[in-house]
Structure formats: structure tokens, C-alpha cells
């Protein structure tokens, strides 16, 4: 079992024989909550498996050190590298945008981590930026993709600082910009910020995306345009870290 205890969500994946994903669960509560326990409970219940049948548990994510039920913990970088290689064996660049940080990881042809850059000092270029902006617009983050897709003239959000960008969004709305155009501008802002990180690592194809923000096609498409590459994304993108942790658990018990 792999569990990814993030800043906003807890994700859990159960793997059989290192190949078959038996089940997964996601709970909208992360580090410092009962989210991790709840995610495990739901996963085991859905999969009809008792906790005694789980051979090894690996935790990853921001809250990995605090979850006492884990046999071991691994870094998010290792977990996302392993999970991404499983989903996309041709991936050489992984762009992971979570609730609190963004990372770009370079992999070799064996899926081993070669290099990375990370932004964890600032909300800009993370899911937090999108969550704050969705809050101002009184919409759900799940609505951002559709609204951005309907934009005809995305506004430019020039401030990277979340607090200043918040005022900028309010000014744009006051000046008559449509919500669609503002949302598209917000997605471009996050994509631009993370694309700059990606360029520091060097963008090698295939490029794939992981983390919760990968679900947001508005950010994904903006990033494809900025970087000029196709970005592969699995419906399982938000579970990539938990999947990588489960793969690591399998390697440990196989030894
Ligand atoms: P963490 O591991 O830090 O909790 P995640 O990788 O789970 O972060 O990503 C959380 C982010 O994913 C949120 O901040 C949000 O912006 C984005 N997100 C989550 N669910 C959705 C969704 N249904 N549609 C669009 N974006 C989403």
C-alpha cells in the first residue's frame, strides 16, 4: 500500500504483485487530520481486503513522517518518479503540481531521477493559487477547466504574488473582464510559472503531469502551449505519488 499525505488531500493506492492496481481512495483532508486513516479505511472497504492482508505500507507526501502506521516513508520526488514511470514508461520529464508546491523531475530511460527543481516557498504556481482564485470567484476548482475553455481573450495576470494577483483579479472583474477570461488568465499564470521551472531542468519528451492540478485541463493546455510539447496525463494523475509509494512497498517486500 502507498499513501500520499498531502497538504490538502490524502491519497491511498493498493497494489497486487507490483502490477495490478487493486483499488484507490482519495479524501479531501491532508496532513494533521484523520484523512490518511480515512483514506485507508475507505480503500480497504472498497477492495474488500482486511488491514492484515496488506504486506507493507509506504507513506509519502508532506505529512509522511507523522503517519505512524507506515512501515517506511519515501520522498515525494521518489514517489512521483516511480508512479510516473509506471503510468508512462517513456516519460523523461514529470511536472507535478500539488496543493502546496510544484516540482519538475527529469528521469532517465530506466525511470531513475536525474535532476529536479522545486517551488515550495511561494503559493504562485501551485494548487493553492488556483484554490484562492476560485474562492474569490465563488467557483469550484473543478469548474476552472470548462470556464477557461470558453475564454476568447484571456486576461494577463502580471503579478506572481498570490496576494497581489488576488487584487488584480478583482480589478479585472471590476473593469468588466468576463469570468471566463479571468479564469483563463489564472490558468496561464500557473502554467507560466511552472513552465519556467521546467525550463530550468530542461524539457525532454515525453512530458507527463502528476498531482491534483494535472486534472485541470486549463493549466495543462496552457503549459502545452507555453512549452510547445504534448503533455501526457492519466486520469490517475492525482494518485501518482501514492502509486509510486505502493510500487516502492512492493520492491521492499520482494527483496
Ligand atoms: P496535495 O498532495 O498537496 O494535497 P494534490 O496533488 O492532491 O495536493 O493537489 C491538490 C490541488 O489539486 C488543489 O489545490 C486543486 O487546485 C487541484 N484539484 C484538486 N481536485 C481538482 C479537480 N477536481 N479539478 C481541478 N483541480 C483540482
What is the percentage of the chain residues whose pLDDT exceeds 70? 100
Q: What is the mean pLDDT of residues 42-60?
A: 95
CATH code assigned to 90-233: 3.30.420.40
Around ligand 1, the residues with Cβ closer than 6 Å are 6-9, 30, 61, 98-100, 127-128, 130-131, 141-142, 211-213, 215-216, 238
Q: What is the pLDDT of residues 210-241, one digit of tens each?
A: 999 999 999 999 999 999 999 999 999 999 99
Q: What is the mean pLDDT of residues 57-65?
A: 95
Structural domain spans, the chain: 1-88+236-255, 90-233
Average of per-residue pLDDT values in the chain: 95
| Ligand 1 center to 113 CA (angstroms) | 24
Grid cell for residue 53? 492482508
Task: Using DSSP, state whether 102 is helix, strand or coil.
Answer: strand
Considering the domain 1-88+236-255, what is its CATH architecture? 2-Layer Sandwich (3.30)
Q: What is the mean pLDDT of residues 149-175?
A: 90
Which residue has the least CA distance to atom 19 on ligand 1?
A: 212
Topology agreement, domain 1-88+236-255 and domain 90-233? yes
Q: Are 58 and 244 in contact (CB under 8 A)?
A: no
* pTM tops 0.85, yes or no: yes
In Å, what is the CA distance from 198 to each residue of 3, 74, 75, 111, 243? Answer: 26, 23, 20, 17, 23
**According to the model, what pLDDT value does residue 35 have?**
96
**According to the model, what pLDDT value does residue 174 have?**
92
Reference 219, options 145, 168, 165, 134; nearest CA is 145
Q: What is the mean pLDDT of residues 184-196?
A: 96
Which residue has the least CA distance to atom 9 on ligand 1?
A: 212
Q: Are 195 and 223 in contact (CB under 8 A)?
A: yes
Question: Does residue 160 register a pLDDT over 90?
Answer: no
| Ligand 1 center to 239 CA (angstroms) | 10
Q: What is the pLDDT of residues 33-47, one digit of tens each?
A: 999 999 999 999 999
Amino acid at each position: 500500500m502507498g499513501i500520499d499525505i498531502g497538504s490538502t488531500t490524502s491519497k491511498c493506492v493498493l497494489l497486487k504483485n507490483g502490477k495490478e492496481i487493486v483499488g484507490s481512495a482519495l479524501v479531501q483532508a491532508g496532513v494533521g487530520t484523520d484523512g490518511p486513516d480515512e483514506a485507508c479505511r475507505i480503500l480497504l472497504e472498497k477492495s474488500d481486503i482486511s488491514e492484515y492482508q496488506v504486506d507493507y505500507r509506504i507513506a509519502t507526501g508532506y505529512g509522511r513522517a507523522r503517519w505512524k502506521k507506515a512501515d517506511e516513508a519515501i520522498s515525494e520526488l521518489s514517489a512521483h518518479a516511480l508512479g510516473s514511470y509506471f503510468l508512462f514508461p517513456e516519460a523523461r520529464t514529470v511536472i507535478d503540481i500539488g496543493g502546496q508546491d510544484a516540482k519538475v523531475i527529469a528521469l532517465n530511460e530506466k525511470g531513475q531521477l536525474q535532476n529536479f527543481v522545486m517551488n515550495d516557498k511561494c503559493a504562485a504556481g501551485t494548487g493553492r493559487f488556483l484554490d484562492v482564485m476560485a474562492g474569490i470567484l465563488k467557483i469550484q476548482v473543478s469548474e476552472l477547466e470548462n470556464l477557461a475553455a470558453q475564454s476568447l481573450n484571456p486576461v494577463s495576470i502580471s503579478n506572481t504574488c498570490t496576494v497581489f494577483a488576488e487584487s488584480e483579479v478583482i480589478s479585472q472583474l471590476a473593469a468588466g473582464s468576463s469570468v471566463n477570461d479571468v479564469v483563463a488568465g489564472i490558468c496561464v499564470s500557473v502554467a507560466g510559472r511552472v513552465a519556467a521551472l521546467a525550463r530550468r531542468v530542461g524539457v525532454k519528451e515525453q512530458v507527463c503531469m502528476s498531482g491534483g492540478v494535472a486534472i485541470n485541463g486549463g493549466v495543462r493546455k496552457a503549459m502545452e502551449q507555453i512549452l510547445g510539447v504534448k503533455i501526457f496525463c492519466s486520469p490517475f494523475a492525482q494518485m501518482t505519488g501514492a502509486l509510486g509509494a505502493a510500487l516502492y512497498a512492493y520492491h521492499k517486500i520482494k527483496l
